[in-house]
């Protein structure tokens, strides 16, 4: 698997896990999963794998930027994964 596509899949997995597991566990509310995460992750992974054939450093840099952004930035009304991690720890 290409390096960039792997980073994108990790970022998509973290986002999905945040919505499916961490947010309901912290807030004790119902699971509200945004199904568009899955196709968006797949399309972006394929695109970065293609870009990696042309410009490997750009593709890996873009994927790494996505991974860092997913960890720190809130998307929608849910807290970021690191916010949920800090709430769970104490």
Q: What is the pLDDT of residues 63-88, one digit of tens each?
A: 999 999 999 999 877 889 999 889 88
The residue ranking higher by pLDDT, 81 or 29, is 81
Task: Give the position of tokens 């199904």.
Answer: 35
For residue 4, what pLDDT is reported? 95
Count the alpha carbons within 13 Å of 5 in the hemisphere toward its beta carbon.
12
Q: How confident is the model at residue 1 (pLDDT cuts 50, 70, 90)?
A: low
For 80, which DSSP code?
P
Radius of gyration (Cα) for the chain, nearest Å?
14
Report the predicted TM-score, pTM, of the whole model to 2 decimal places: 0.89
* Contact status, residue 66 vs residue 11, Cβ threshold 8 Å: yes
**What residues contact 2, with CB distance under 8 A and at least 6 apart?**
48, 49, 52, 59
pLDDT in tens, 30-44: 888 889 999 999 999
């Amino acid at each position: 698997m290409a390096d960039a596509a792997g980073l994108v899949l990790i970022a998509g997995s973290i986002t999905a896990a945040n919505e499916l597991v961490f947010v309901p566990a912290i807030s004790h509310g119902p699971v509200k999963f945004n199904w568009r995460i899955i196709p968006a992750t797949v399309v972006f992974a394929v695109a970065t794998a293609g870009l990696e054939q042309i410009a490997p450093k750009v593709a890996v840099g873009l994927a790494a930027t996505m991974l860092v952004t997913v960890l720190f930035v809130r998307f929608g009304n849910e807290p970021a994964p690191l916010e949920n991690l800090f709430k769970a720890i104490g």
